[in-house]
Chains A and B, each alone.
Chain A
Amino acid sequence: MNETTKMILVLTVICAACGFLLAGVRFATEERIEDQIMRYVKGPAVKRVLSAATNDPVEDRRQIDLDGKPVTVFIGRTGGKVASMAYETTANGFGGEMGVVVGYDIEKNCLTGIGITSHKETPGVGSRVTQESFSERFAGKPLDAAFSITKDGGAIDGVTGATISSRAVCRAVEQSVGEYAKIKEQIAGP
């Protein structure tokens, strides 16, 4: 066997073995990682936006089908009745995809609040949109509010120096509001 063939063969075998090993580990840990993200990242955000609920919205979550794409809806109840709900949407920010959980009061048809679940914004600049001082600007807004920053003629005060990140949050909220009617229809009932 000449040298080149041997090099190609050895590297191929090593890469293939590593690939199989990683696929196995990934498969074995996938479910747990999902759980951990739910517990440490999405859970706290959902509980914050649905703080008025008397049940545990993270336990009371449901997979629904929205035009062929699965959406996890967290349901908040007061006295056993469905009173609020929250789900996650994404938008592209400055550094990559940003996940935003938006909570809704179903009776008043308004926002109860928003929470950023994942982002890759610049630390100390764009990342300031994750702070309470920004996210609280969405709380209590009716569904027909203009969800864009004041610079673009909207109703939300953007974070100074973080225009692109603020716009991304608004876009995610806008998309979320757009899906509201369809999702509400599906979770209506018990």
Chain B
Amino acid sequence: MAKNVWTEFRKGLWEEIPPFRLVLGLCPTLAVTKSAGNGLGMGLAATFVLLCSNIIISALRKSIPRKVRIASYIVVIATFVVIVELVTQAYFYPLYERLGIFIPLIVVNCIILGRAEAFASKNGVLLSAADGLGMGLGFTIALTAVGSIREVLGAGTWFGMGVMGTRYEPFTFMVEAPGAFICLGLLLAIMNAIGKKA
């Protein structure tokens, strides 16, 4: 099996981009993407956890007994999540307040445990790091995309800057929960349409 770091990294960005292709991690995708900034922040937090947990789990994969592997993975993942929580609280307090409960909930994000079980537990440290980084950035791009669409349509701003002009009447529906489902549904449909052609 000739696996190379670049392919492992790249697959997370397009072929297996988590929320769209794997349809994993939908909870934060729907819940925190009220604005592009929130999506980006959430995505980067998850990327950090994914990268670190993949590295550690891959490094320890030979010494962790099969029967307690899930418990071990959860401990490692939870540790990094708490680190992210403390660091955002200390350095990005306004973001911490907006993301609220969704930072601790990264622990149960199925992308992270999914990558630990499906990839990091079977591959070397370097490949796992590439996989984690790729998947995390894919997740970040997806969240930022959903957040951008919702913020531009729902509030007329992008990363807090007005982009639709002062005459634009915000389509508030898009920043509410139903807007999240509709936006995600349309993006999934577009991704499927593109995937079929290729």
Contacts and interface: CB of A to CB of B under 8 A. Distances in A.
Given A11-B71, A11-B72, A22 B90 contact: no
Interface string B71-92: 1100110110011001101110
A29 B84 CA distance: 11
Interface string A56-71: 0000000000000000
Contacts of B65: 3, 6-7, 10
A120 to B, nearest CB: 11
A29 B89 contact: yes
A39 B89 contact: no
Given A29-B90, A36-B93, A10 B68 contact: yes
Contacts of B97: 40
Nearest to A29: B90
Interface stretch (A13-21, A94-102, A141-149, A182-190): A13-21
Given A10-B63, A10-B72, A33 B83 contact: no
B165 interface: no
B64 A40 contact: no
Interface residues of B, number: 22
Contacts of B82: 22, 25
Interface residues of A, number: 19
Contacts of A14: 60, 64, 72, 75-76
A29 B76 CA distance: 20
A180 B115 CA distance: 56
B195 interface: no
Interface string A36-60: 1101100000000000000000000
The B interface is mostly helix, strand or loop, or mixed, namely helix
A26 interface: yes
Most chain A C-beta atoms within 10 Å of own C-beta, residue among B76, B79, B89, B91:
B79
Contacts of B72: 10-11, 14
Contacts of A3: 65, 67
Contacts of A10: 63-65, 68, 72
B89 A18 contact: no
A37 B93 CA distance: 8
A18 B68 contact: no
B75 A29 contact: no
Given A3-B65, A10-B64, A33 B89 contact: yes
Contacts of A25: 82-83, 86-87
Given A10-B63, A11-B71, A36 B89 contact: yes
Interface in B43-78: 60, 63-65, 67-68, 71-72, 75-76, 78
Nearest to B68: A7
A40 B92 CA distance: 11
Given A7-B65, A10-B68, A11-B71, A39 B86 contact: no
A33 B67 contact: no
Interface of A: 3, 6-7, 10-11, 14-15, 18, 21-22, 25-26, 29, 32-33, 36-37, 39-40
7 contacts: A3-B67, A10-B63, A10-B65, A11-B75, A14-B75, A25-B82, A29-B87
Interface of B: 60, 63-65, 67-68, 71-72, 75-76, 78-79, 82-83, 86-87, 89-91, 93-94, 97
Closest 6 CB pairs of A and B: A32-B90, A18-B79, A29-B90, A36-B93, A29-B86, A7-B68
